[in-house]
Chains A and B, each alone.
Chain A
Amino acid sequence: MKNVFPEPGFFTELAARIARDPELPRLGVFDATFGLRVLPDSGGAGPLVILTFDGFVLSDVRRVDGAPPADVDFVLEAPHAVWRDLLRDPRSQTINTLTHHGAPMQVITTDPLGHDKLFRFQESVQRVFEIAATIT
């Protein structure tokens, strides 16, 4: 398995690094299930990788095709180039900056309660991408 975003090996390594990270639990409980989708340059929707955080641990990583399951609070969706730039420099290209105007990254959600979890756990979500940036 390659440790290249968004291949499965990347998320295996991400889970291992998250488990070792002292900063993420220091930010507080993190109860959210969110998806990451890389939009193919050829159009259409790529596979969805879903991360579930339960309290202080990343409890599940799964891949699904098609629409997000009902338990997903929000999905972050962007072309590969946007994800690549985020993972190169997550401190200047923050998740909030990328999603604020609906571009270049979109937040897909059907429930305001789920959408607001992106803001309730903003620093934790941001921290996940800071950890992810250490892999590539």
Chain B
Amino acid sequence: MAYNAPIDFLADAEFLEGFRRVRRGELSLDWMDAKTERVKVRPKDPRRGLTYTDLEVGSYSTERIPEVIRHTATMAPRGAELPPGLPDMGYIVNRKSEVWADNVLTLYEESKTRQWNAATDIDWSALDQYAVPPDLEKAFAQVCTFLSEVEMIATDLPAKWISRINHDFVELKSLLCMQTVDEARHTEVFRKRALAGGVGLLQASVYAEHALKGILESDTYTQASVFLHMLGEGFILSTFRNGEAIAPTPVDKKIFRLVMQDEARHVTYGMMHLRYFLQENPNRAEEIHLMLDEAETLMIGALGSPELAEPLVILAGKGTGKAEIARGIELTTQFQLTAIMEYFRRLERAGLTGRPERSKFTRLLTLIG
């Protein structure tokens, strides 16, 4: 047991007397007079139910969260009275601009309603209806191996930070919890697809894992978010879209459409978080640029790893013959270029200007012609 509370409850006379008083029916009812705002909320749209947006009233509103939270480091719900003696939970992210985005509430509600089940929403038995050539099935199993490997970072990373973020950002922490579930499901669905197709898992990727380690060890939450949500998940979103287009069966197309939706939510949060961060801290843009200078190199390694690039080429070209490989290279290059352009556009939308000029992706394009 790492934590020793300042009170030993069974040896504390005041606590025990209070306990006995309640048992005797002598209630203090002090909590009834808590100095908090009395409100009564209802759903604005009954079909959506009571959403966090409906709770944007008075002192409970997220707009009232100050940029720097100094008054609480506890798990007390925002808006509750804070009695003296609440323990400090040791949060290290206490600035709103270091976690917030204007779309946190709507994305949280959206993510809850758009959940799906990898066990039952995919028609696994239907895979038997499609005769996928062995080379294509192996290529698909390799893509699934890669995606099952990398997707869990988007669970591990938010999970690492959630307990470090001040509890006043409870809606944001809840959104990150939803992301951890989304990404666990992605790891699950690709693992299941690899094993359901008759091949099983193939080879892990050294290059990809360097990128995963880079994401996990980012210095700050915002740096981690930009690396994970905008760079990593932005490119994986493109990979999912490409996967849907080149998938060997309609079952696989559906898998990619479903994971695509989740991934796009995470990218949208990341884009709007960076925007919020830069609006509040315009002088910290260089900090993001410096992180991306290194992160982009790691991402180039992940995307260029043979465990991903080669099976994508085979799937896009629909075979391993010379002509198929050539066609696959053409289509894969096209999707990679689109992914790079969309990454630049999202950064610009978030307010990070000048990235293409110093980006490692721009250098990569020059190097490979």
Cβ of A100 and Cβ of B45 under 8 Å apart? no
Give the residue among A29, A55, A91 with the most B Cβ atoms within 10 A: A29
Cβ of B245 and Cβ of A100 under 8 Å apart? yes
Looking at the assembled complex, report how far the CB atom of B346 sits from the nearest CB atom of chain A, in whole angstroms.
Answer: 5
Cβ of A29 and Cβ of B48 under 8 Å apart? yes
Given contacts A101-B335, A120-B264, contact A91 B114 (CB under 8 A): no
Looking at the assembled complex, report how far the CB atom of B272 sits from the nearest CB atom of chain A, in whole angstroms.
Answer: 8
B250 interface residue, CB < 8 Å from A? yes
Residue from B250, B258, B260, B331 within 8 A of A101 (CB atoms): B331
Looking at the assembled complex, report how far the CB atom of A63 sits from the nearest CB atom of chain B, in whole angstroms.
Answer: 26
Cβ of B268 and Cβ of A113 under 8 Å apart? yes
Residue from B263, B334, B346 within 8 A of A112 (CB atoms): B346
Cβ of A116 and Cβ of B268 under 8 Å apart? yes
Tell me which residues from 87 to 128 in chain A have a Cβ below 8 Å from any Cβ of chain B: 91-92, 94, 96-97, 100-102, 111-113, 115-117, 119-123, 126
Q: Taking CB as reference atom, which chain A residue is nearest B244?
A: A96
Cβ of A112 and Cβ of B237 under 8 Å apart? no
B355 interface residue, CB < 8 Å from A? no
Looking at the assembled complex, report how far the CB atom of A119 sits from the nearest CB atom of chain B, in whole angstroms.
Answer: 4
* Complex: A94 Cα to B110 Cα, angstroms: 23
* Complex: A101 Cα to B331 Cα, angstroms: 8
* Complex: A122 Cα to B334 Cα, angstroms: 21
Q: Taking CB as reference atom, which chain B residue is nearest A121?
A: B261
Cβ of B261 and Cβ of A119 under 8 Å apart? yes
Number of residues from B at the complex interface, CB < 8 A? 36
Residues of A with C-beta under 8 A to B261: 119-123
Looking at the assembled complex, report how far the CB atom of A112 sits from the nearest CB atom of chain B, in whole angstroms.
Answer: 5
Cβ of A55 and Cβ of B257 under 8 Å apart? no
Q: Taking CB as reference atom, which chain B residue is nearest A125?
A: B257
* Complex: A126 Cα to B256 Cα, angstroms: 13
Number of residues from A at the complex interface, CB < 8 A? 27
* Complex: A102 Cα to B341 Cα, angstroms: 13
Give the residue among A29, A31, A97, A120 with the most B Cβ atoms within 10 A: A120
Looking at the assembled complex, report how far the CB atom of A50 sits from the nearest CB atom of chain B, in whole angstroms.
Answer: 21
Cβ of A123 and Cβ of B258 under 8 Å apart? yes
In the complex, per-residue mask of B240-255: 1 if CB is within 8 Å of any chain A CB, else 0: 0110110000100100
A27 interface residue, CB < 8 Å from B? yes
Residue from B47, B241, B271, B334 within 8 A of A56 (CB atoms): B47
A9 interface residue, CB < 8 Å from B? no
Residues of B with C-beta under 8 A to A113: 268, 271-272, 349
Residues of B with C-beta under 8 A to A28: 110, 113-115
B137 interface residue, CB < 8 Å from A? no
* Complex: A100 Cα to B106 Cα, angstroms: 27
Cβ of B264 and Cβ of A119 under 8 Å apart? yes
* Complex: A122 Cα to B259 Cα, angstroms: 10
Looking at the assembled complex, report how far the CB atom of A107 sits from the nearest CB atom of chain B, in whole angstroms.
Answer: 11
Residues of A with C-beta under 8 A to B263: 119
Residues of B with C-beta under 8 A to A97: 244-245, 253
Q: Taking CB as reference atom, which chain A residue is nearest B344?
A: A112
Cβ of A123 and Cβ of B47 under 8 Å apart? no
Looking at the assembled complex, report how far the CB atom of A29 sits from the nearest CB atom of chain B, in whole angstroms.
Answer: 5
Given contacts A112-B345, A113-B271, contact A123 B241 (CB under 8 A): no
Given contacts A55-B47, A100-B335, contact A94 B257 (CB under 8 A): yes
Tell me which residues from 209 to 241 in chain B have a Cβ below 8 Å from any Cβ of chain A: 237, 241
Binding site for A on B (CB under 8 A): 45, 47-48, 106, 109-110, 113-115, 237, 241-242, 244-245, 250, 253, 256-258, 260-261, 263-265, 267-268, 271-272, 331, 334-335, 338, 342, 345-346, 349
20 pairs across A/B with beta carbons < 8 Å? Answer: A29-B109, A96-B241, A96-B245, A97-B244, A97-B253, A101-B331, A101-B338, A102-B338, A112-B271, A113-B272, A116-B267, A116-B271, A119-B237, A119-B241, A120-B110, A120-B265, A121-B261, A122-B257, A123-B261, A126-B257
Binding site for B on A (CB under 8 A): 27-29, 31, 55-57, 91-92, 94, 96-97, 100-102, 111-113, 115-117, 119-123, 126
Knowing that A101-B245, A120-B265 touch, tell me 17 more A-B residue pairs with CB under 8 angstroms: A28-B113, A28-B114, A31-B110, A56-B47, A57-B47, A91-B250, A94-B244, A96-B244, A96-B256, A100-B242, A101-B334, A112-B346, A112-B349, A113-B268, A115-B342, A122-B264, A123-B261
